[in-house]
Structure 1
Amino acid sequence: MHAWPASEVPALPGQGRDLRIHDTATGGPVTLEPGPVARIYVCGITPYDATHMGHAATYNAFDLVQRVWLDTERQVHYVQNVTDVDDPLLERAQRDGVDWVGLAEQETALFREDMTALRMLPPKHYIGAVEAIPGIVPLVERLRDLGAAYELDGDVYFSVESDPHFGTVSGLDAAAMRLLSAERGGDPDRPGKKNPLDPMLWMAAREGEPSWDGGSLGRGRPGWHIECVAIALDHLGMGFDVQGGGSDLAFPHHEMGASHAQVLTGEFPMATAYVHAGMVGLDGEKMSKSRGNLVFVSQLRRDGVDPAAVRLALHSRHYRSDWEWTDGVLQDAVDRLGRWRAAVSRPDGPSAEALVDEIREALADDLDAPAALAAVDRWAARQEADGGTDTGAPGLVSRAVDALLGVAL
């Protein structure tokens, strides 16, 4: 599966700071100091109803992570998956009377278009669950051979008790985990499971549903969590720098995935930091497919909204915050974009070296994009009020906003 084209990242004078970011597993900040190549895995979409603002906010956050690392003169090895076979996708295809493969391809293509328009940097490896199945099957077989997996009516489950570190990603107690498992694709009430929290590794073939050869596992398809584990281990290995996604993935998805990987390799932890973006709401409720209250990037683009304004709207809220999308949030972003473009269109202006440092400091401090926007606002206000004599300042501001915030002025 191919990703989307990369926009050029302008070079800036000087060098950025190491990223200090909130780690869900420890509940506090960690300073990431990768080697020459920083490694990040961000969980991708299940391709239906793409790309809504919740998706966009999540990928915006991890695009900033990449840009901070690139500004420290590191390379970035970014991996993202596409869950192109799963119950919600199959259910949507059946509801709409369409082929599930075609639906997945259509929505994935739309996602690529939206990411391109928003100038999100693409992953180096963009891997679908279906294409990952040959690598998934041996992992499930190995977990079974290690005594960490068991069969139940043809399905194969992972035993969470096989990992002594289970629970350290989300920090939740068993009761909270059970509630979230039921809400987020698990089956804690299924009779015969060793532990209600045990997640499925391999689902035996069901009539009328797609299935693949699973070797000694029989025909079937992979569970949700082992998909990302197989892709991450194959392309990044253990101990990579950031495991990212929305806050609703901390449990069960990232918790279960970490346990799978840790049992498979005997190493801990799977990732140095588990980083989660907040949820985006609309009209007082979380924006979600089940509620049908989605705002789509593609619809905004069709309505003539500049993708750069959408990007600024996303930057205006801290990535870890739960926030609400409104017409006012978008209008503020449109107005800000206009002010910034007017400011950099002049032949000279106030010196901008300090501004570049302010943006770098803000983003290195847990991706504080609102603080970075405020810094550019102050420079633009000085430009409007007093102007300046630095002929290189407008160009430097334009390059910095592009390189560090992904917004083309």
Structure 2
Amino acid sequence: MEGRDPVSGVTMGVEEEFLLVDPVTGVTVPRAARVLALAGRRPPPAPGAGFHAELQSTQVEAVTGVCTGLRALRHQLRQGRLRLAAAAAAEGVRLVSTGTPVLACPDPPFTEGERFTRISRMYAGVVGGYQSCGCHVHVGVQDRETAVGVLNHLRPWLPTLLALSVNSPFDRGRDTGYAGWRMMEQSRFPGSGVPPWSDSAAGYDRQVERLVDGGVLVDPAMTFWLARLSPRLRTVEVRVADAAGTVDEAVLQAALTRALVRRALDDLAAGREAPRVCDQVCAAAVWSAARYGLEGPGVHPVREAQVHATALVDELLDRVRPALEEAGDLSEVQTVLAKIRRVGTGAARQRRAAGGAGPAGAIPMLVQQTAPGAWEPPERVRMGVR
């Protein structure tokens, strides 16, 4: 996009999770603390942006500041990736954006910290080696009552956002047969999946409190729902997408998510209640999206019928087209969608890059598309071979 961003009145921000891998073997390595220390030596790319640790010491996170347009968001996403990639290279490792570890690896140590320790003790084997990475989109909604209504309207569309984002076909050296295996990993946690319907902010809080009181969540700030009210910010946080292979795909998730929120706000203002889609049908739709991505059937949560995944994408785009046009985002969204349909989702590209070499063959492609131009591979390095 050229020129200045149009001002939409609805803000957004993105959190991106990445893995660190050995440049020779492609196996994940526990260097997060050192990489984050290097990345943090310079001022952040924008106010509110920064870099953070995750549960596992093989993972790092880049966070954008608050953005009103896609141009600023794209710049911050690119700068965050370049900064982390440069810090990783200085530590002798590489940054990759993929939903799950591509190659077999030992369980890494957990990141130090009291809360991480509580999480590791509560979930035991479920989090042992859990190195899943996602792309989380925050969209500003000023009051919690409205935000709960927005969540209700988002529920049917979360599986389609997942299908567009799938980027985890491999897991620890095997082809899982899924396009988005990360979602299968996440489903092991209590209360995962599409958030339940809530009739009010108080009702939403009661549902969270029940899980905390039942001893399955560390605290009210921790839920595993694929969309939720942010525990820290005045935002709706959508966490359904796999780690985005490219900046373009992260921008696409942000643009579509914001447009869905804007459409939900319009529906709420007009008194249109969200469809009360069945929890089990939503779960089936999430599973189908994770299994096939865009290359097979999907489940229509409202019609409760099997349709092709691309038909769901077309329906989503029709639903949010006015919001995208108003924000000036439609052309960019259409361009990225057309590219995905032409070259495939992240999962399809990983499988194509792997070819006959097996999962290790996908690593160079992942490194290069995560932060293009951030580094040049050593001449004698062959990923996956010592």
TM-score where L is the length of structure 1: 0.29
Instruction: Name which one, 1 or 2, has greater alpha-carbon Rg.
Output: 1
